[in-house]
Amino acid sequence: MVNYIWVLMTIIGLVVAAINGRMKEVNEAIFNSANEAVTLCIGLISILVFWLGIMRIAQDSGLLEKLSNLFRPIVSRLFPEVPAGHPAMGYILSNMMANMFGLGNAATPLGIKAMEQLKELNGGKTAASRSMITFLAINTSSLTIIPTTVIAIRMNYHSASPTEIVGPTLIATMCSTIGAILIDRYFHYRRTRNGVK
Amino acid sequence: MQLISFISLWIIPALIGFILIYSTWKKVPAYESFVDGGKEGIKIAFSIIPFLVGMLVAITVFRASGALDYTVDLMKPLLEKIGVPAEIVPLALIRPISGTAALGMMSDILSVHGPESYIGRLASVLQGSTDTTFYVLTVYFGAVGIKKMGDALKVGLLADLVGIIAAIVIVAWMF
């Protein structure tokens, strides 16, 4: 599906640009965004190195395992394929925590580690497993408790109460997370019903 | 507000301090573990590059050509009929694709309509309650070499839709 979306977005963009006479802008956009993507990845190195280093200490000292034991009852329901005490659980949980506290930068390396462990669990296949899809669904629905960036921007525009959106944001986030879990369950049900696991 | 800024200031240092003290207590060679874990970070960062370049280029071509504007215009009349302000449409469409672009659009909405307007509040809630689905998908799956995404994108985008609808309903109801 991603293959089609990727090709479709690019081709539609090129065709529309041809009709609109915006080829110049598109040319610039191609090279600027490629550049931007690489800069983004290079910028990620410092964060990835630091957080994966710290998290390795947490793993080696047994902290990740403790954390996953604490929340196992809830999370094992969401990820029935992940065995108890598996490191994947620890990374999934720390990723969720980091997301909740708005530490987006810390969440990414942990999410990648969780994916790596889930891939191993799945026998190293290059197709996404059920747990991977569930994990992504929860992740992309955003679990933010305190939307720090939004509050900061509201302050910039001299909002009388920049934090008034915290409550509604929390409720909306909860809706989308619950929605993500239900939608994920539905698609899983559909897959197994069709016999393709 | 003070409590929130206090927590966000202290949480990371406190977490790092706790992990280091705990590991030393457990007699783990902390520095060696740190370096081991860190080496992996470099590998991951480099392995993401092709995935991110591909995605970002496609997205910016779509936007720079004006195709995104047309999509928005196409959807406007339908959304206005069910009471959704048209100004929010570009933000809702761009949010799953680009986090920074969405942030830019949100500040634009706040500066034009003011942070206390319905649309300003809606933009704020929307920004906080959804995530950059394409980016998360690209980075997470790209880093570990997942080629077949299964239903992941469909589930992620549908969840975004739920978040958008929830934001519209809640903001209309609470303010």
pLDDT single digits (tens) B111-124 = 888 999 999 999 99
Best B12, B103, B129, B158 member to test A by mutation, with max A CBs in 10 Å, is: B129
Residue B114 falls in which region: left (phi positive, over 0), alpha (psi -120 to 50) or beta: left
Length of chain B: 175
Q: Sort A34 into a burial class: Cβ within 10 Å, 0-12 / 13-18 / 19+.
A: middle
The two tokens of residue B97 are 């694709």
Name the residue facing A9 among B7, B8, B59 (closest C-beta): B59
Do A67 and A40 have their domain in common? no
Q: Do A128 and B150 touch (CB under 8 A)?
A: yes
Contact indicator for A132, A151 with CB cutoff of 8 Å: no
Query: What is the C-alpha to C-alpha distance for residues A52 and A108, in angstroms, rounded to an integer?
Result: 10
Residues 6+ apart with CB under 8 A from B87: B109, B113, B119
State mean pLDDT over A128-140: 90
- Residue A53 half-sphere exposure toward CB, CA atoms < 13 A: 17
Q: Do A41 and B45 touch (CB under 8 A)?
A: yes
Structural domains of chain A, count: 2
Residues 6+ apart with CB under 8 A from A91: A55, A64, A110, A111, A113, A114, A117
On the question of pLDDT at A104 being above 70, the answer is no
Chain A residues with CB under 8 Å of B59 CB are: 9, 33
Query: What is the C-alpha to C-alpha distance for residues B158 and B66, in angstroms, rounded to an integer?
Result: 25
Which of residues 95 through 154 in chain B touch A, CB cutoff 8 A? 96, 103, 106-107, 110-111, 114-116, 121, 124-133, 136-137, 139-141, 143-154
Do A98 and A148 have their domain in common? yes
Using CA atoms, how far residue B33 sits from A93, B91, B143, B144, B167, in Å, is 20, 42, 21, 21, 43
State mean pLDDT over A60-77: 80
State mean pLDDT over A170-193: 90
CA distance A150 to chain B (A): 6
On the question of pLDDT at B29 being above 70, the answer is yes
- Write a three-state SS string for A162-173: HHHHHHHHHHHH
Residues 6+ apart with CB under 8 A from A73: none
The pLDDT value recorded for residue B8 is 60
Using CA atoms, how far residue A157 sits from A151, A154, B22, B122, B129, in Å, is 10, 5, 43, 15, 20
On the question of pLDDT at B25 being above 80, the answer is yes
On the question of pLDDT at A196 being above 60, the answer is no
Higher pLDDT, A142 or A157: A157
Q: Is residue A49 part of a domain?
A: no
Do A87 and A181 have their domain in common? yes
On the question of pLDDT at A75 being above 70, the answer is yes
Q: Is residue A110 part of a domain?
A: yes
**pLDDT tens-digit series, residues A2-17:** 678 789 889 999 999 9
Q: Do B159 and A140 touch (CB under 8 A)?
A: yes
Residues 6+ apart with CB under 8 A from B86: B72, B76, B79, B80
Do A96 and A167 have their domain in common? yes
On the question of pLDDT at A18 being above 90, the answer is yes
Which residue is it, tokens 């910039």?
A: A156
3-state secondary structure of B84: coil
Do A123 and A31 have their domain in common? no
The pLDDT value recorded for residue B86 is 77
**pLDDT tens-digit series, residues A114-124:** 999 999 999 98
Query: What is the C-alpha to C-alpha distance for residues B107 and B125, in angstroms, rounded to an integer?
Result: 13
Q: Is residue A133 part of a domain?
A: yes
Chain B residues with CB under 8 Å of A33 CB are: 53, 56-57, 59-61
What residue type is A165 in one-letter code? Answer: I
Determine what percent of chain A is predicted with pLDDT higher than 70: 94
The two tokens of residue B13 are 């240092």
Q: Is residue A54 part of a domain?
A: no
Give the closest residue to B164 by CA, choosing from B85, B57, B109, B98: B85
Q: What angle do CA A191, A193, A196 make, to 5 degrees?
A: 50
Which residue is it, tokens 């077949």?
A: B148
For residue B77, the tally of other CB atoms under 10 A from its CB is 9
Do A131 and A182 have their domain in common? yes
Reported confidence tier of residue A111, pLDDT bands at 50, 70, 90 = very high
The pLDDT value recorded for residue A143 is 77
Chain A residues with CB under 8 Å of B39 CB are: 49
State pTM to two decimals.
0.78
Determine what percent of chain B is predicted with pLDDT higher than 90: 18
Chain B residues with CB under 8 Å of A194 CB are: none
Do A9 and A71 have their domain in common? no
Reported confidence tier of residue B11, pLDDT bands at 50, 70, 90 = confident
Contact indicator for B61, A9 with CB cutoff of 8 Å: yes
The pLDDT value recorded for residue B7 is 66
Domain extent for A17: 1-44
Do A97 and A188 have their domain in common? yes
Q: Do A52 and B127 touch (CB under 8 A)?
A: no
Q: Which of A70-79, A123-132, A133-142 has the lowest mean pLDDT?
A: A70-79
Do A69 and A3 have their domain in common? no
Using CA atoms, how far residue A158 sits from A130, A151, A178, B23, in Å, is 45, 11, 33, 44
Do A35 and A127 have their domain in common? no
Name the residue facing A40 among B52, B110, B148 (closest C-beta): B52
On the question of pLDDT at B134 being above 90, the answer is no
The pLDDT value recorded for residue A163 is 82
Do A17 and A113 have their domain in common? no
Q: Is residue A102 part of a domain?
A: yes
The pLDDT value recorded for residue A102 is 60
Q: How does the average pLDDT of chain A come out, rounded? A: 85
What phi and psi values does residue B25 have, to the nearest 5 degrees? -60, -35
The pLDDT value recorded for residue A195 is 63
CA distance B18 to chain A (A): 10
Do A39 and A94 have their domain in common? no
Residue in chain B lying closest to A21 (CA):
B65
